[in-house]
Amino acid sequence: MTDRESRYLISKYGRLFYYLRRESLQTISQVAGAQLGELQRMAQVEIRDVDKFYGDVQAIDAVSLDIDDGDFVILVGPSGCGKSTLLRMVAGLEDISYGDISIGGKVVTTLPPKDRDTAMVFQNYALYPHMTVAENMGFSLRLKGEAKSIARQKVGDTAEILGLSDLLDRYPRQLSGGQRQRVAMGRAIVRKPAVFLFDEPLSNLDAKLRVQMRAEIRELQQRLNTTTIYVTHDQIEAMTMADKIVVMQNGVIEQVGSPLDLYDRPGNTFIASFIGSPSMNLIAGKMTEDGFLSHFDDLLPVPEERRHLSATTYGIRPEHLLLDPDGLEMTVAVVETMGFETHLLGMLGETKITVLTNERVNAGLGDVIPVRPDPHNAHLFDATGTRIA
């Protein structure tokens, strides 16, 4: 029986065994926690070997991840890769089929959402339409039985941080999208949770507001220094906001690293093409002693000390294809003029490529422009798609 099958069977039939094991782990961590007392309210998150099955569909496959106290971690990947499911498992909104999650050293795997000390901001904000901004923000405090005066103070302070002080008496329908978004964040902040969980919070905003809110959320997170897990399919959000990016595909973690780690050293061709916009150019071929020979007979430069590597894909970012009279011939299809930079889309042999330059290029459909890859910024991948240099 494979490991995968045994996990599945445990998830389906071994619940009693599984719960017993979880409870014992929890008791141990509670005793240890009591000994540490109030000294530490650390909010590191540990995800250990977690699986999620929906019937026979496995949405999460043996995921383990350590998130440090105060870190801003972004889960990113294409639609259906399992990022929301993982976030919802941390929140307690989805059962965990196998494995454990701890927050601040305490195993929370079986705890209901309200006992996990997390606060979630949803994509659709989920504000109560019949409550004012102040009532929406203070709702959780009311449920907790917080004294009215203290709750009012906390809501007031949070509204101040978010620039909502003048809007406290309005109803959600009287707010713009960005303001609603801020109220949803306010509702999370007011609870002073150990961990913030964001599920695609900017998807419903227009492009300009999204850029503004990106910076606001990042700034706020740094100010509050609260551990944050944030889900998005947008790699630009991930690159601009995260301390650490977790790239997922098909329910597994492909790579974890800082934004620039992932950009400079993508672990495989999937990450290479997913992180970065425009995407990295990936050109198929084989290594020779003179350089990398594409399937269309273009010789791409490789530093001599790397020419022994058995690469089958040559990766080059659009900004590392330089306009050079001695370069390879690129046939232009489209020129996208952005103002501060220009994107040239075209063909190198039969491979579609993109060039990014700060020069203003006067070219059109069918023109041939010579481009030269900068060999020191070339990425090499083997036949499995794994990075080798």
Contacts with ligand ADP, residue ranges (CB under 6 A):
54, 57, 59, 77, 79-85
Separation between Cα atoms, residue 178 and residue 199, nearest integer Å: 16
Closest CA to 101 of 139, 141, 51, 142: 51
Q: Which is nearer to ligand ADP, 237 or 298 (CB)?
A: 237
Q: Which is nearer to ligand ADP, 81 or 316 (CB)?
A: 81
Q: Which is nearer to ligand ADP, 84 or 227 (CB)?
A: 84
Secondary structure (3-state) at 37? coil
Secondary structure (3-state) at 140? helix
Q: How far is the CB of 87 from ligand ADP (least distance, A)?
A: 8
Q: Which is nearer to ligand ADP, 52 or 116 (CB)?
A: 52
Q: How far is the CB of 168 from ligand ADP (least distance, A)?
A: 33
Separation between Cα atoms, residue 274 and residue 78, nearest integer Å: 9
Separation between Cα atoms, residue 244 and residue 259, nearest integer Å: 7
According to DSSP, the β-strands at 45-54 and 195-199 are unpaired
Q: How far is the CB of 101 from ligand ADP (least distance, A)?
A: 15
The residues pairing with 356 across neighbouring beta strands, listed in sequence order, are: 343
Q: How far is the CB of 82 from ligand ADP (least distance, A)?
A: 4
Q: Which is nearer to ligand ADP, 75 or 272 (CB)?
A: 75
Q: Which is nearer to ligand ADP, 181 or 249 (CB)?
A: 249
Question: Is the separation of the CB atoms in 285 and 294 below 8 Å?
Answer: yes
Residue type, 379: H
Q: Which is nearer to ligand ADP, 198 or 292 (CB)?
A: 198
Q: How far is the CB of 332 from ligand ADP (least distance, A)?
A: 36
Question: Is the separation of the CB atoms in 262 and 273 below 8 Å?
Answer: no
Q: What are phi and psi of 95, to 5 degrees?
A: -65, 155
Q: How far is the CB of 63 from ligand ADP (least distance, A)?
A: 11
Cα distances (Å, whole numbers) of residue 299 to 191, 284, 328: 60, 12, 8
Q: Which is nearer to ligand ADP, 60 or 355 (CB)?
A: 60
| Token code pair at residue 34 | 């009591």
Separation between Cα atoms, residue 67 and residue 64, nearest integer Å: 10
Contacts of 366 (CB under 8 A, 6+ apart): 331, 332
The two counts, helices (H) then strands (E), for the chain are 10, 19
The residues pairing with 149 across neighbouring beta strands, listed in sequence order, are: none
Q: How far is the CB of 46 from ligand ADP (least distance, A)?
A: 20
Phi-psi region at 215: left, alpha or beta (left = phi > 0; alpha = psi -120 to 50): alpha
Q: How far is the CB of 160 from ligand ADP (least distance, A)?
A: 33
What 8-state DSSP symbol labels residue 268? B
Separation between Cα atoms, residue 101 and residue 115, nearest integer Å: 13
Q: How far is the CB of 84 from ligand ADP (least distance, A)?
A: 3
Q: Which is nearer to ligand ADP, 77 or 186 (CB)?
A: 77
Separation between Cα atoms, residue 369 and residue 359, nearest integer Å: 13
Q: Which is nearer to ligand ADP, 80 or 156 (CB)?
A: 80
Q: How far is the CB of 233 from ligand ADP (least distance, A)?
A: 7
